[in-house]
């Protein structure tokens, strides 16, 4: 296990703990947002985004490059038809099941074993996308 993988593992631990702490490891809590009963998901996403905004936009003004090497580069993607069609399909599945990729992994960690079926389905869906539309 090299240093980079250790950092990613610790970052993952933190991410998963935060998801569970904020309730998002439960599909029911995600669904209660999409059913417009509890707007907490927006607060959680907002707090995570603001913190990450500081790391991406402000820290690089004082630290020239990542401490373990590499480069600071904001995450950008080109907007095209697939971005939006994909987001529509994702949204439909999200609203049906209350699962998204990160929350499903954290859900497994709180002992929600049925989500293994959901994660397997995500792999199948990703494979189908790459195989037939990639």
Partner 1 sequence: MFPLGIWPYITGGLIIGIGVSFVYILTGIHSTQSSLFSTTMSYFSKIPYFQRKTYLESREWRLYFAAGVILGAVIYTLTVSPDGWWTTSVQVWRLVIGGLLVGFGTRLSSGCTSGHGISGIASLSTTSLFAVITFILFGIISAQLVTFLGVLP
Q: Under rule CB under 8 A, which residues in 56-95 are in contact with partner 1? A: 56-57, 59, 63, 65-79, 82-95
Q: And the tokens for 90?
A: 């994702």
Confirm or reject binding of residue 99 to partner 1 (CB under 8 A): yes
Output the smallest distance, CB 55 to partner 1, in A: 3
Cα first-last separation, the chain: 31
Q: What whole-number distance in Å separates Cα of residue 132 and Cα of residue 127?
A: 8
Q: What whole-number distance in Å separates Cα of residue 102 and Cα of residue 90?
A: 13
Report 18-57 residues binding partner 1 (CB under 8 A). 18-28, 31, 34-41, 43-57
Q: 55, 45, 58: which is closest to 18 by C-alpha?
A: 45
Output the smallest distance, CB 40 to partner 1, in A: 4
Q: And the tokens for 52?
A: 């990450």
Output the smallest distance, CB 131 to partner 1, in A: 6
Output the smallest distance, CB 60 to partner 1, in A: 9
């Amino acid at each position: 296990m090299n240093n980079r993988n250790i950092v990613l593992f610790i970052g993952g631990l933190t991410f998963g703990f935060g998801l569970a702490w904020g309730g998002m490891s439960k599909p029911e809590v995600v669904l209660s947002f999409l059913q417009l009963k509890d707007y907490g998901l927006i607060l959680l996403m907002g707090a995570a985004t603001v913190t990450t905004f500081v790391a991406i936009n402000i820290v690089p003004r004082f630290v020239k490059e990542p401490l373990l090497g590499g480069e600071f580069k904001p995450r950008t993607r080109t907007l095209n038809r697939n971005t939006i069609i994909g987001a529509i399909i994702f949204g439909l599945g999200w609203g049906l099941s209350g699962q998204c990729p990160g929350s499903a992994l954290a859900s497994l960690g709180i002992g929600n074993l049925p989500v293994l079926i959901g994660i397997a389905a995500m792999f199948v869906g990703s494979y189908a996308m790459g195989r037939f539309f990639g």
